[in-house]
Each structure stands twice: as C-alpha cells, then as structure tokens.
Amino acid sequence: MTAKASSKPYTGKVIVLVNSRSASASELLARVLQLEHPGTVVGDTSAGAVMQSRIYSDSGGLDSKVFYETSITFANLVMGDGKSLENVGVTPDEKILPSAKDLANDLDPAMSRAAELADVKLTPAEAGKLFPCSLGRL
C-alpha cells in the first residue's frame, strides 16, 4: 500500500507537548515533526524509550514455583537523521520546565506557551487546570 498525497493537506500550526514521561509513539511523532519541520515541540526532554521488545513469561521450581518475565529487545528505531532516540529522548525546540513554585500552585507554563504558539491566550493557571495529571499529580 502506498500513501497518496492529499489534495488538501493541513497547513495549520502543529504544536507537540512532551515531558520526561513522554515515551514510545509520542516521541516518534515529536521527532518526525522536528525533522520534517511542520511543527514545534515544547516542554521537557522525553523519556527516550522507543525500542521494541517482547515479554516472555515462564516459571521454575519444584517445591515452590517462581514466576518470572523477561523482556527482550528486538528492534531499535533509527530516525531519518541516523540517530536513535533510545536513552536520549527528544529535545524540545522550546525547553520549558515548571519550577517547584509552578508545581505547588498547579501552574503549567509549557501548556500556556504551546497555546500561545497556537494564537490562544491561556495563562499558566488556566493551563494547569486543564490536565492536572500532566503536572505529576494523580
């Protein structure tokens, strides 16, 4: 199957938020946008967890049974620039880290900046109310 070019491609802004918990497909999206230049990545360096692995479960023992799993990596994704994201992550175009004071007051300066890039006015306090879990709180 071959992808066909759209007759009406999206020409708007693309802003991606990442942080140290961003991993796997979110990292790939962020990095492809950086390499292809249609978007801006904002936030903190991502996790660097993109290798593909399989988990194998087994058990052993006679009197007592011990159950265990082994994760075996079988693929490392290398991006168009010849680099792997594994253990490195995506460095955002605009690195914005919340301070301890921001976290204590539920402020999200990264989300606020991303909104600003999309021509939307959103204070860090308003942004902090949108996704409280993104600030590390559950």
Does residue 133 carry a pLDDT above 80?
no
Q: What is the pLDDT of residues 92-132, one digit of tens each?
A: 999 999 999 998 999 999 999 999 999 999 999 999 999 87
Question: What tens digit of pLDDT does each residue of 9-59 get?
Answer: 888 899 999 999 999 999 999 999 999 888 999 999 999 999 888 999 999
CATH number corresponding to 14-49+77-132 = 3.90.226.10
Residue partners of 25: CB distance under 8 A and separation at least 6: none
Report the alpha-carbon distance of residue 135 to residue 21 in Å, rounded: 10
Annotated domain spans of the chain:
14-49+77-132
* Residue 38, pLDDT score: 84
> What pLDDT, in 10s, does the model give residues 51-91?
888 999 999 998 999 999 998 988 888 898 999 999 999 99
